[in-house]
Structure 1
Amino acid sequence: MTSLYRAFRASVLVNGSPTDEFIVQRGLRQGDPLSPFLFILAMEGLHIAFKRARELNAFTGLKINLLKCKLIGVGVSFTQVEQLAERFFHNPNALWVSVIRALHGHSGRLRDLSAVGAHFGPWKGIISAFRHLKDRGDGLKIFCQIRVGNGQLTDFWRDTWLGSTPLFTQFPRIFALDDSHATSVADRLRIGWVASSLRREPRGGVETEQWEAISALIQAFVISPQQDRLRRTLDSLDEFSVSSARYFLDGRSLFSGGSSTCWNNFVPIKLNILLWRVALARIPTRDNLVSRAIVLDSNLCPVCSSCLETTEHVFADCVELRGIWSSISRWWNIPTPSSVSVVSLINWADHSKLSVMQRKCFDPVICTAFWVLWNFRNSFIFDSVKPRKSNIFDDIVSRSFFWLCNRRKNCKMLWGVWLQNLAIACNM
């Protein structure tokens, strides 16, 4: 180690000219193999020092006592606190609930669950979901209407109970004149709705107009002995249901994927996925690849080399491949769609005059045709030996027969009948 230090020399550039070399007295040079060992020695020494301090009780943390601490344990487990919080909402008429509400408000200060902790049972997740919906403007209050009974649970100014908006937004001038902003409907009407109950009487103009309008609304309102409750406007049952709320929120938030997708169980799932991607134009045609900034030698169809390769072109417009649909039409003795397109070919079975059982067998043939055409296109590009177009139709017939026989329950279809008489084959 001594020779390693003594063998090292250093020099400093002054105005571009090196000075005389000098011996480095202390430290390790950058990249020296001893550098990692130095850090290991330092860590080991620090670990031993902390270990000895812990054994000697040399560490003194913050001493907590009742004079310094503002949070005092209540002597019960957190599970019991959670259970009491749930009972607080489920037993609104209990005496202890009334005491808590009298001291801490109607919600008992349980609305702010962020300060309670991360394990507050199901209520924290439910309230967090409500807050998320409220931030998006989809709060459940948009389809809940307050039905005032005795008026004890309804905020006079801030709840929507007369009209479509709260009273403080309908009559802001009268709201500014009233000193009782945080009061219920029952308490405000008990005081009496007269001009002398305000901080000062209205002074004409807009104040007088709003005073007359709100007075007319309140005088026409009659309090009943029933308790206030929320009326749900999603259905005619006037009761809240999870299904109706879920249906409403899904309709406002979920993305609509257009037409519904019908999965066919008579063919493998890979065919259903391909047909779904074809309907959305999400297959890797050359046009789609170029639109995603992928460099290709050409964006023309590899089969006909005359048109841009799009989803519509591959399956419906290519002059080299569109004759397959005419062959299928003659085989099943049904006309082709009036306007041949990807959508019309996918829905070909639904718009034909075939029987129900024949449609169930014809739809797998369409799925197989899309699968075979796409495989032919890929083989034409990537295989060293070009596939023959004359084998496409035969491949569709054989593959559809194989999948129907193996995936259709209690199928007794014969190959000869499948080729000659489809009406009989579909019922076998």
Structure 2
Amino acid sequence: MLRAAVGNGESIRFRIDVWCGEMAFKDKFPNLFKIKINKVVLVSERLQSVKEGTVCWKIRSANMSQVLQNELDICISFLAEVLIVDSQDKWVWSDDDSDMFSVISAKKWLQQETSNSAVGRLEWCKWIPAKVNIFVWRAKMDRIATISALERRNIMIPSRGCVFCEYSPETTDHLFSGCFFSNGIWLAIESWCRIPNVFAFSIRDLVNLHNSVGFKGIKKVAFQGIIYIALWSIWRARNDRVFADKRLKVMEVMAEIKSLSFLWFRCRYNTIRILLSGNLGVTLI
């Protein structure tokens, strides 16, 4: 990718361009970026060359919150070795040892970015609502508002523990695959769908579970949707406990999973015969 090499700093945007490190300051220090009215400021307007080897950054640090002060301290440490010199700014290709752009280096960079983005891919399930698919996609990328995710965004929560077990930190993987509550859901789904024991250590294992249980055709499609609905229902149960202090039991969540699965599958595949058989819920014929 392109990055800026600082000379006199008169053509490089201080917060928006990538010029110090591998990220733009607006992404590296989001809270500092938010409080600034003039966001398009040049490097030369914020830094000035000092012959003694020090760098001065024009900013007032009084009356700052602790989060802002921490970001400011880290930012100043990044700028400690930056010097403004009497030469023109230039742009270099950072993925090439020679800093020169070439088609082959751009191709390698695009291939690397494509492979790194595989975590964001999701096999869409067509018979469940889009909101459930989108939620599973966000959860797979760890982009849902768990306590750990909120703390990474400098949003402090009084309790760090899982709302179900109250012991382990509430991360995405723990909430859906490590907590005793979610494990109870997967045990019930094993019995209902008549599948072998579920061994899942992360949400990615759960999202891909329908590819490893031996189902084919319409049964595989149905089981995929059941897994997605289960993830959605666990999250809803979590939110009920956080915001409404409503403590649902495993069987209550399973009842919701079964009813939603039957309703949505029947509406999408109304030409397929479906049999309700006791505790097994939906059985395809």
Residues 253 and 320 of structure 1: CA distance in aligned 2, closer, same or farther (over 3 Å): closer
* Match of residue 186 from structure 1: none
- Measured against aligned partners, the alpha-carbon deviations of 1:113-149 in whole angstroms (never above 9, x if no partner) come to xxxxxxxxxxxxxxxxxxxxxx98244xx59xxxxxx
Which residue of 65, 83, 101 maps to 1:137? 101
Q: Is residue 150 of structure 2 the alignment partner of residue 289 of structure 1? A: yes
Which residue of 397, 414, 418 maps to 2:258? 397
- Measured against aligned partners, the alpha-carbon deviations of 1:272-291 in whole angstroms (never above 9, x if no partner) come to 11111121111110011112
The structural deviation recorded for 1:249 is 8.7
The structural deviation recorded for 1:330 is 1.0
The structural deviation recorded for 1:311 is 0.6
Q: Is residue 273 of structure 2 the alignment partner of residue 309 of structure 1? A: no
The structural deviation recorded for 1:324 is 0.8
Amino acid across the alignment from 1:426: L
* Match of residue 274 from structure 1: 135
Preserved contact between residue 193 and residue 280 of structure 2 (Cα < 8 Å): no
The separation in 1 between residues aligned to 2:158 and 2:113, in whole angstroms, is: 42
The structural deviation recorded for 1:420 is 4.4
Residues 355 and 253 of structure 1: CA distance in aligned 2, closer, same or farther (over 3 Å): closer
Residue identity over aligned pairs, in percent, reads: 26
Q: Is residue 206 of structure 2 the alignment partner of residue 345 of structure 1? A: yes
Amino acid across the alignment from 2:172: T
- Measured against aligned partners, the alpha-carbon deviations of 1:37-63 in whole angstroms (never above 9, x if no partner) come to xxxxxxxxxxxxxxxxxxxxxxxxxxx
Preserved contact between residue 258 and residue 281 of structure 2 (Cα < 8 Å): no
The structural deviation recorded for 1:339 is 4.4
The structural deviation recorded for 1:331 is 1.1
Q: Secondary structure at the match of 1:308?
A: coil
User: Whose relative contact order is higher, 1 or 2, with alpha carbons under 8 Å and at least 6 apart?
Assistant: 2
The separation in 2 between residues aligned to 1:327 and 1:279, in whole angstroms, is: 22
The structural deviation recorded for 1:316 is 0.9
The structural deviation recorded for 1:384 is 4.7
What TM-score comes out, normalization by structure 1 length?
0.39
Residues 257 and 419 of structure 1: CA distance in aligned 2, closer, same or farther (over 3 Å): same
Residues 265 and 296 of structure 1: CA distance in aligned 2, closer, same or farther (over 3 Å): same
Q: Is residue 132 of structure 2 the alignment partner of residue 251 of structure 1? A: no
Preserved contact between residue 187 and residue 198 of structure 2 (Cα < 8 Å): no
Preserved contact between residue 138 and residue 249 of structure 1 (Cα < 8 Å): no
Structure 2 unpaired stretches of 5+: 1-98
Residues 418 and 359 of structure 1: CA distance in aligned 2, closer, same or farther (over 3 Å): farther
Whichever of the two has the greater Rg, that structure is: 1
* Match of residue 23 from structure 2: none
The separation in 2 between residues aligned to 1:411 and 1:404, in whole angstroms, is: 9
Structure 1 unpaired stretches of 5+: 1-134, 144-244
Amino acid across the alignment from 1:266: W
Preserved contact between residue 350 and residue 359 of structure 1 (Cα < 8 Å): yes
* Match of residue 82 from structure 1: none
The separation in 1 between residues aligned to 2:280 and 2:198, in whole angstroms, is: 23
- Equivalences for 1:41-56 in 2 at 5 Å? none
The separation in 2 between residues aligned to 1:344 and 1:324, in whole angstroms, is: 15
* Match of residue 55 from structure 1: none
